[in-house]
Structure 1
Amino acid sequence: MNAPLDSLAWLADEAEAHDRGTADADRLVPELGRRGLFRIGVAQSLGGAGGDTYDGVEAIAATAERSLTAAFVFWGQRTFIEYLLQSPNAALRERWLPALLAGEFAGATGLSNAMKFLSGIESLQITATPRDGCWRLDGCLPWVTNLRKAGFIVAAAVARADAGTPMVVAITGEQAGVARSDDLDLVALRGSNTAAIGIAAVNIGPEHLLHEDARSFCPAVRPAFLSLQLGMSIGLARAALRTAAVQGQGAHRPLLPRVDEISAELEGLAGILRSGLTDRRFASDPAELFRIRIRLAEIVQIALGLELDASGGRAYLRDQHRGFARRWVEGAFIPVITPSLTQLQGELARQAGTCAA
């Protein structure tokens, strides 16, 4: 299980280039796949390396310690794989899972819109119009990661024009009517193949269905969707805290008890995340998972602040402490990735109001 994680040193060497977008972004998925990372947490009977979803969380965390860009791509790929694992469409799984596990093709999670839809934050942005037992799709996905230019498959929740139950479908970049935009002009993580997708008169049939009922499928996959995403926060915080512990010597030694305190809280939350995935309680109590997401985002900011305090002026000398500036900007992404902290806080407030009523 640990063998693929022992081969991540190359990511640290290329982290700056992937963050700036000067490296070949299309290399990330094949390289991660070649090293077996996408197989972690997938049953051996399905071509995986065994383990469970939390093993996938730790693999993404280990990647995020070296490069948040690579971890972001990893999350998109691994989350789409999770959709296939939980889909009742066995034919779709058998067609796509081997190539996705191997990193021969890119999988993207376009369900951020659907997760907001579940909380009443926004409407679905793609409409499906029935046509002779199939559907015509029209709409857009304004922000999707891992849209590899060499080819991708993306999940999307779609509203039905006939007022039927919303569905979750899988479409590829090669289908007529699917248009990938240029990469979004991100502040960081520029090598993540993040773009928008326009969808105009795209024809799909039952073979494209991940699930015929988005309102049951999305809550079922949300624990994995969000937990795998939290690997990014865990890994980034670990990297910052580890650096703070190393740099926090001499005049900066008074910081070390605080570094130890935050490190212990971080690992405690990781343990709670693991137990919640194991006993499946996040499916019935998503609020607990939301609170973990909020606190981990806060811990990332605390950890980066401790790294800065422990490093002092050296943090501003790129030749001496190159990773800090990148991690500082990477950290700014953590609060806004869907579901954002503001969205989660609003959802928790809504739930609290409902309970009070």
Structure 2
Amino acid sequence: MTTVERDLPTDEAHDLLELVRDIARQRLVPQVDDYEDKGTFPREVFTEIGRAGLLSLPYPEEFGGGAQPYTVYLQVLEELSAAWGAVGLGASVHTLSCYPVAQFGSDAQRERWLPGMLSGEQLGAYCLSEPTSGSDAAALRTRAVLSADGATYDVTGTKAWITHGGVADFYNLMVRTADTGPHGISCLLADADTPGLSAAPPERKMGYRSSQTAQILLDGATVDSGRRIGEEGQGFTIALSALDSGRLGIAACAVGIAQAALESAVAYAKERQQFGQRIIDFQGLSFMLADMATQVAAARELYLAAARRRDAGQSFSVQAAMAKLFATDTCMKVTTDAVQVLGGAGYVRDFPVERWFREAKVLQIVEGTNQVQRLVIGRHLAKH
């Protein structure tokens, strides 16, 4: 929940943002500290925002989606993240998890599975990383062997750092079906109750404690061959395409957290008195806040510019990498400075800035580390 003035394309989009702010103010902000302290996954919160239509926004109405442009969807993520980081991140991951079926599935697959995914009652997970393949995703080892009759895949391996691992209803599994590097990777859609699929105990994280992250263990998991999304060997293409959109989601989440930290720092600086005046009236501190505000505004415009390209059907891979890189680095810098503005108060849990500081760090890592984003941008520059 922020005080940002939005430039929205329609009255419907304006009403949507107002709904999100109402939910944030009335339902999310009052609960976040309790869930974060306990490290409890708020499944009922996701059901609530799902029923409000917030887990299906950029997908077609014919399948139960909201048919909203990405520029609007990302601003919803920003508002959710400002109120409760784990909810904003979870909405982004769920949207990412629906992407393979929506974009690469057959007509029959979309008709069969997408309405359930977009109903608001289900939650998805996206399984690409493994213990030995993170940034080098093409080196993944989880293997899927097709049965002699071609009816099922036998899947064995371990997926790591899976958001919603153990609480999701469906999993997108990037698996190896041939020993041909990135060309030997395929995408399978598995239900949570798939025989042989289980979750390890949740990771004990520095931040986003109410967002469950766990390894997914595949011990001879049996997946129907009709659940392969796209052709065999198309999985890595699907994964990279999905990540382009997912990186924009992470950028929006980062801007939401940075905006919340900025507003908290400004409010504190207006109230805190030292040497007979408000600390915001000291030039050194006011300049720090000015830089924070400028960086947050720039990050927002960068992700919106990339989203406009996506909405227009233009290439946006490099722009998504730039937005993710700049927005998450900005989030880390702004939350660090917010802690500094609050001084000792910023280091204790009585104020939320320490939580935002802890949450900011992982956003520089997920959906491709910021070093990988620089690699993507640098390679583009070398080619053009």
TM-score range, shorter chain: 0.7 to 0.9
Question: 1:3–1:49: structure 2 CA closer, same or farther, 3 Å change rule?
Answer: farther
| Matches of 1:162 and 1:294, distance apart in 2 | 32
With structure 2 as the length reference, what TM-score do the two structures score? 0.81
How far apart are 1:351 and its partner, in Å?
A: 5.6
1:155 aligns with 2:172: yes
* 1:124 maps to which of 120, 136, 140: 140
- Residue equivalent to 2:241: 220
RMSD of the TM alignment (CA)?
Answer: 2.6
- Residue equivalent to 1:92: 109
Letter in 1 for 2:47: P
Deviation track 1:266-307 (CA, whole Å, cap 9, x = no partner) reads: 232133222232234445xx2332222111122112211332
- Residue equivalent to 1:178: 197
1:244 and 1:259 in contact (8 A); partners too: no
1:236 and 1:331 in contact (8 A); partners too: yes
- Residue equivalent to 1:11: 28
Question: 1:43–1:120: structure 2 CA closer, same or farther, 3 Å change rule?
Answer: same
SS of residue paired to 1:169: strand
2:296 and 2:327 in contact (8 A); partners too: no
- Residue equivalent to 1:30: 47
How many residues are aligned here?
347
After superposing the two structures, state which structure 1 stretch, 75-84 or 303-312, moved more: 303-312
Within-5 A mapping of 1:151-300: 152-161=169-178, 165-212=184-231, 213-249=234-270, 250-253=278-281, 254=283, 255=286, 256-283=289-316, 286-300=317-331
How far apart are 1:120 and its partner, in Å?
A: 4.7
With structure 1 as the length reference, what TM-score do the two structures score? 0.87
Question: 1:267–1:343: structure 2 CA closer, same or farther, 3 Å change rule?
Answer: closer
How far apart are 1:61 and its partner, in Å?
A: 1.2
After superposing the two structures, state which structure 1 stretch, 231-240 or 303-312, moved more: 303-312
Extract structure 1 runs of 4+ deviating beyond 6 A: none
Question: 1:137–1:24: structure 2 CA closer, same or farther, 3 Å change rule?
Answer: closer
| Matches of 1:225 and 1:183, distance apart in 2 | 22
1:336 aligns with 2:365: yes
User: What 5-or-longer segments of structure 1 have no aligned partner?
Assistant: none
| Matches of 1:120 and 1:317, distance apart in 2 | 37
1:130 and 1:162 in contact (8 A); partners too: no
1:53 and 1:224 in contact (8 A); partners too: no
Question: 1:106–1:248: structure 2 CA closer, same or farther, 3 Å change rule?
Answer: same
| Matches of 1:42 and 1:130, distance apart in 2 | 31
1:111 aligns with 2:152: no
After superposing the two structures, state which structure 1 stretch, 343-352 or 287-296, moved more: 343-352
| Matches of 2:376 and 2:67, distance apart in 1 | 34
| Matches of 2:336 and 2:206, distance apart in 1 | 20
Letter in 1 for 2:322: R
Deviation track 1:181-216 (CA, whole Å, cap 9, x = no partner) reads: 111111222221211111121222332112221243
- Residue equivalent to 1:314: 345
| Matches of 2:372 and 2:36, distance apart in 1 | 26
SS of residue paired to 1:202: strand
- Residue equivalent to 1:135: 153
2:127 and 2:160 in contact (8 A); partners too: no
How far apart are 1:47 and its partner, in Å?
A: 1.2
How far apart are 1:111 and its partner, in Å?
A: 3.1
User: What 5-or-longer segments of structure 2 have no aligned partner?
Assistant: 1-15, 271-277
| Matches of 1:50 and 1:349, distance apart in 2 | 34
1:2 aligns with 2:31: no
1:62 aligns with 2:69: no
How far apart are 1:144 and its partner, in Å?
A: 0.6
Question: 1:211–1:305: structure 2 CA closer, same or farther, 3 Å change rule?
Answer: same
2:93 and 2:246 in contact (8 A); partners too: no
2:173 and 2:188 in contact (8 A); partners too: yes
